[in-house]
Amino acid sequence: MRSVIVPRVLSAIPVLFVVSVVTFLLMWLVPGDVASQIAGPDASAAELAAIRERLGLDRSIFEQALIWYGNLFKGDLGQSYVLNRSVVDAVIERLPVTLSLTFLALVLAIVFGFVLGVVAAANHNSWIDQLTMTGALIGLSLPDFWFGLVLIFFFAVELGWFPTGGYVPLAEDPIGWLNAMTLPAMTLALTQMGVIARMVRSSMLEQLGQDYVRTARAKGMPGHVVLFKHALRNALIPVVTLIGIMTGLLLGGAVVIEVVYSLPGVGRLIIGAIQNRDYPIVQGGLLLTAAIFVFVNIAVDILYTFIDPRVRHGKQ
């Protein structure tokens, strides 16, 4: 097992390095003078110089990079220009909202995606198959932030079943939290649900065409046992790998959904920071989200070795 885990964890190092370089260079991409953008058009030369000095912008890019990396290794991503606090604190405070939204959406997408995919595969080429697959295709073609507005209109404005937005912490009021998170999680899950349903269906169909399935049927095994014990278990393997990638898509998608539903997560923090030109927050938020994504992928890869005995035992 160690032979699988150690190299996989080590492989994250170059990836995280590139992630940090891209994040650092983001600030350098900003056209014109960052200081004058922060200070506004009326700032005097002295004010600009003061801002540059405070942010270290008067130094060369190499010096800035050295300082930035030095702090990064100490776990310091700098100070927010606007919020007057450290970037790490600001991001970590918002993280639970984003992660719980992502997690809920992932669970919804997996559960419904699997049900739809299995139903479609079990009824291959029937109208049920066609209907579910058309639904899945439409689901993954809808812009999710727009679908969120449609849900808000029907379920919050017209029917009044859910709030139109806003957040209630889980610890304060679990029912309120669930109420606040239902529509956002459904919105975020929609696209990936379609993706999973299609993937499960084609993976199931591939398995159902295999010899071992025919053997199982031939020896008189009941249809549902063949479907769930044989085909589904093998069909799971390619789908699990997808979940790592999916987490990244959902984390990115959560940014947009947080804005639609006014949820105080990392996404809204970053978008707010973009509007205020609070670059350290943008950098820090981006870096931490990418790091989470990298580690989720490692976890999924390791999980994969547990599910697939071929990978678990022997290399080649």
Q: Which residues bind another protein (CB under 8 A)?
A: 14-19, 21-22, 26-27, 29-31, 137-138, 140-143, 145-147, 149-150, 152-153, 157, 164, 202, 205-206, 248-249, 251-253, 255-256, 259-260, 267, 270-271, 274-275, 282, 286, 289-290, 293-294
Closest CB to another protein among residues 169, 252: 252
Closest separation in Å from C-beta 247 to another protein: 9
Closest separation in Å from C-beta 293 to another protein: 6
- Cα–Cα distance for residue pair 187/259, rounded to 1 Å: 12
Closest separation in Å from C-beta 219 to another protein: 26
Closest CB to another protein among residues 181, 294: 294
Closest separation in Å from C-beta 136 to another protein: 10
Closest CB to another protein among residues 34, 110: 34
Closest separation in Å from C-beta 252 to another protein: 3
Closest CB to another protein among residues 79, 297: 297
